Structure 1
Amino acid sequence: MLPFELQIGLRYTHAKRSNHFISFISIVSMAGIALGVMALIVVLSVMNGFQEELRARILGVAAHLEISGPGDRLPDWRGVLAQAAQNKSVVSGAPYANAQGMLANGGNVRGAIIRGILPDRESQVADLARHVKLGKLDNLKPGEFGIILGGELARMLNVYPGDKVVLLTPQGNITPAGVMPRVKQFTVVGIFEAGMFEYDSGLALIHLQDAQKLLRMGDDVSGVRLKLDDLFRAPFVTRELAQSLRGDFYLTDWTQSHANFFRAVAIEKRMMFLILLLIVAVAAFNIVSTLVMAVTDKQSDIAILRTLGARPGSIMRIFIVQGAFIGVFGTLLGVASGVLLALNVETVVPMIERLFGMDLFPADVYYISQLPSKLIWSDVAIIGGISLLISLLATLYPSWAASRINPAEALRYE
């Protein structure tokens, strides 16, 4: 049999009241808590999706970890790669040669990072091959001086596959007229779109051997790019390799080279959590108002219960049950609707766009044309737990006030 405090508390939540305003505020409190919880779950899921999408786009071009030598020169890259491969977390590696240059096509001139790669090995450390929209990565052949440009860079130069571009590098040739920049004509053999403006507007790929000839590096490279079995262990693997590698090297992982992106997303996520939590707090204030008015409305009932032997603690528990019911029901409703919406954001957003005849994420403005969402159940548990805690705390003062009512004073005018 249920305790009488629980029975009476539940009866107060659904029994017909003479004061319908109390019932209205109770419904508003439930709706407010449900709305706050739903908004928190959906917004955090969307931000998790953005974070994962951003990470995927960055690592589609960048590697998990890079090893470079002093002066951007690494003489024995095969030996360095062999040493690094002894670490169990290292899956594969590929050499690269980096240089800055100017690309020109007629009157269009743009600066870019020129990266020399081995196409077969590059596919083992990054997903760049799947971002090549026109042509393919294997079109880079040694000695043919082909080049693959980022989509924005190709647009600014006004070139397409098959067109010629001129590359000027700052490493100059000494002539009787002075130091002249090295100039080489390349053929555009492909265009990629990584979805990151930084890469699409400022990165060009050529074959590693062509880069070595152009930069007169011999067999040297700029460094080695590594892929790990777990990208989140990159900082730990960096420290391990710093201790195990023999020689002077610079080690950089993806969390260091793109720290600002992920730090900004993490800070924004925390701030959005705190801001949206205020919705739940405001709804909790409504619970306080509801219980205060309920206590005033039920003073005679409280006095009768006290004269029948109910203790102050029992009276307090009755109104805690009433307020907790509002919080629990609102939280469960918010969690259910929030999870349902977060799992179907990709379906709901197009429906809203069709309904209002507007494009929320136009492809010509945003690289991410669809709203990403990733539901993390630990976030759902934290949001639900905090909502229940706030709701429970909101019941304490009105319930305590109810337990302090003097039966004689309450029944004097009855």
Structure 2
Amino acid sequence: MRTELFLAGRYLKPRRNAVSLITLLSILGVTLGVAVLIVVLAVMTGFTDLMKEKLVETQAHFQVRPGYGGVIYNPEEAIKAVEQAGGRAAAVIQSPVIVQRGRGLDPRVVMFGTSAGDLEKNGIFLPETLKKGKLSLDKGEIVISTDQAARWHVGVGDKILLHTQQRLTQMVDFNPEGGVTLNKNASAYLPAEFVVTGIYSVGKYDFDRMILFVGIDDAADLLSLPWGSATAVFGWGPDAFDQKKLVESIRDALSFLRVVTWEEENQQLLGVLAVEKNMMFFLLIFIVLVAAFSIMNTLITSVYQKTREIGILKALGASDRCVTFIFILQGFLIGVIGSVTGTLTGVLVIFYRNDIMEFASKTFHVELFPKQFYFFDGLPAHIVATDVLIIVGASVVLCTLGALLPALRAARLDPARALRYE
């Protein structure tokens, strides 16, 4: 094997030059394929991991809910069941609202009615989350996001008005034949006025754009619900990624209510991300496959160029197996070198990914990673060792298989005819 390896390495370069241009192009093809695969899979993995992290940060680990459109009139019972199972819980009133600032209306908002203590206790609001003001949800106080503050042109101490769908729809009657009429029995109402006490940012675009916080009693008044009730009970366990036993225990204790985990709530999104990662690997592995065909073409040319040398080797006693291994090892060496350089290139690109993206955006005047679509301020990436091993292993195997046909062609050469080759 030592002789075959020596000759394989010797054949990778020509007689007069230190490096063969054809060999360099073959290695470059493998390098690019491996680098692209590593970068894309690292970004997809980082995107998925950061998405899960932000989902866990901005959502409850699980939610205890009533039937569709219902209300939990005694949330303390559900909170007690969660705490007995080993979790933490908080009663929440959640509903879409319409924000009015001056004469402008913004319906793209969801209100969370809860207490400031529950937000801090359950980790939704970390010290770095609050950007301005204070986390206070007393009567008539509201906490909004930096995105909302910019959208509505408000700051700490300013006032905004909230409308609810329930109150607005009570003002009119819907005719079965079509059209609406004024509900004569409905009384006029004034929107609820709130003072902005704090401005937050969790770094997840859709959450920052939509969610605002008020006290739970204010939320109950807005929705005409009795004080002490809730639309859901949010729960948190010791580990958001390993809570099967905890959730089963709560479901057994609260069989008359629904318990929905954050994975079930976001099942479609997480499934799409997993499928996209697998599809990216399947599609981009063809880059390495093209490089393997390039290696095959290179080695076929090499076999014709070295016909006399192969004839001399076989005349000196080299077996068909020995000649086969020489050319297979050539493909293997190209695969290994290309995989190593591709891995280093991929890691380097990932390390400087945001700088590269910023440079490309400024050069071509195109925003490559708009946060309104991808929810994050920067391009996430996470290199997984198993992904790298699979990519490198697949590349080396494909390159080695690409050398198999030229190797068999070289092994079949007749020594006498090879020595007469011109």
- Bin of the TM-score, shorter chain as denominator length: 0.7 to 0.9
Sort the Cα spacing of 1:397 and 1:87 in 2 relative to 1 into closer, same or farther, 3 A.
farther
SS at match of 2:241: helix
Structure 1 contact 132–192 (Cα < 8 Å) conserved: yes
Residue 376 of structure 1, CA deviation: 1.4
In structure 2, distance between residues paired with 1:29 and 1:68: 59
Shift in Å, 1:277: 1.8
Partner residue in 1 for 2:112 = 115
The CA deviation string for residues 135-159 of structure 1, in whole angstroms up to 9 with x for no partner, is 232x211xx2111223444444443
**Deviation larger for 44-53 or 339-348:** 339-348
Structure 1 partner of 2:52: 55
Q: How big is each residue's C-alpha offset from its partner over 1:249-287, in whole Å with a ceiling of 9 and x where there is no partner? A: 122222222334333333332232233222211111111
Q: 1:267 to 1:413 in 2, by over 3 A?
A: closer
5 Å-filtered alignment, 1:182-197, equals: 183-197=191-205
State the 1:397 CA deviation. Answer: 1.0
TM-score calculated relative to the size of structure 2: 0.84
8 Å contact 1:124–1:227 — kept in the other structure?
A: no
User: What is the CA–CA distance in structure 2 between the aligned matches of 1:9 and 1:210, rounded to whole Å?
Assistant: 78
Letter in 1 for 2:82: A
Unaligned runs of 5+ in 2: 172-182
Partners of 1:66 and 1:223 within 8 A in 2: yes
Equivalent residue, structure 1, for 2:180: none
Decide which of 123, 129, 132 is 2:130's aligned counterpart. Answer: 132
Q: Indicate the percent of aligned positions where both proteins have the same amino acid.
A: 28
Secondary structure of 1:286's match? helix
8 Å CA contact 1:64, 1:226 repeated in 2: yes
Corresponding letter in the other structure for 2:6: Q
Q: 1:201 is matched with which residue: 170, 194, 209? A: 209
Q: Which residue of 2 aligns with 1:290?
A: 298
The separation in 2 between residues aligned to 1:180 and 1:257, in whole angstroms, is 38
Deviation at 1:56, TM superposition (A): 3.2
Higher mean C-alpha displacement, 189-198 vs 307-316 = 189-198
The one of 219, 227, 231 aligned to 2:240: 231
Task: Label 1:155 to 1:83 Cα distance change in 2 as closer, same or farther (>3 A).
Answer: same
Distance 1:64 1:41 in 2: 31
Secondary structure, aligned partner of 1:159:
coil
Determine if contact 1:133/1:191 at 8 Å carries over to the other structure: yes
**Equivalences for 1:51-130 in 2 at 5 Å?**
51-70=48-67, 71-88=69-86, 90=87, 92-111=88-107, 112-129=109-126, 130=128
Q: Distance in 1 between matches of 2:187 and 2:129?
A: 35
Whether the 8 Å contact between 1:238 and 1:251 is mirrored in structure 2 is yes
User: Could you tell me whether the CA contact under 8 Å between 2:361 and 2:368 is conserved in 1?
Assistant: no
State the partner residue of 1:6.
5
Q: Which moved more, 1:325-334 or 1:298-307?
A: 298-307
Residue equivalent to 1:265: 273
Per the alignment, residue 318 of structure 2 pairs with 310
Question: Residue 257 of structure 1 aligns to which amino acid in structure 2?
Answer: E
Aligned counterparts of 1:24 and 1:114: Cα–Cα separation in 2 = 64
Q: Deviation per CA, 1:270-306: give whole Å up to 9, x if none.
A: 2322332222111111110111011111112222222
Residue among 4, 11, 28 paired with 1:31: 28
Contact kept, 8 Å, 2:204 with 2:376, in 1: the verdict is no
Q: Partner of 1:169 in structure 2? A: 164
Match of 1:179 among 164, 182, 186: 186
Question: In the TM superposition, what whole-angstrom CA distance separates every residue of 1:338-378 from its partner, at most 9, and x where no partner exists?
Answer: 2233234355555x469959685688977634332222111
1:335 aligns to what? 343
Query: Quick check: 1:46 aligned with 2:43?
Result: yes
- Give secondary structure in 2 for the equivalent of 1:378: helix
Structure 1 contact 65–234 (Cα < 8 Å) conserved: no
Contact 2:65/2:259 (CA < 8 Å) preserved in 1? yes
Between the aligned partners of 2:146 and 2:240, the Cα distance in structure 1 is: 27
The answer (yes or no) to whether the contact 2:329–2:400 under 8 Å persists in 1 is: no
> How many residue pairs align between the two structures?
404
Say if 1:49 and 1:372, in contact at 8 Å, map to a contact too. yes
| Match of residue 216, structure 1, among 225, 250, 253 | 225
Tell me the secondary structure at the aligned position of residue 123 of structure 1. Answer: helix
Distance in 1, Cα, partners of 2:106 & 2:368: 29
Change (3 A) 1:189 1:409: same
d(CA) in 2 for partners of 1:25 and 1:332?
18
Q: CA–CA distance in 2 between the matches of 1:114 and 1:133?
A: 19
Alignment partner of 1:275: what SS? helix
Contact kept, 8 Å, 2:13 with 2:23, in 1: the verdict is no
State the superposition RMSD in angstroms: 3.1
TM-score, length-normalised on structure 1? 0.86
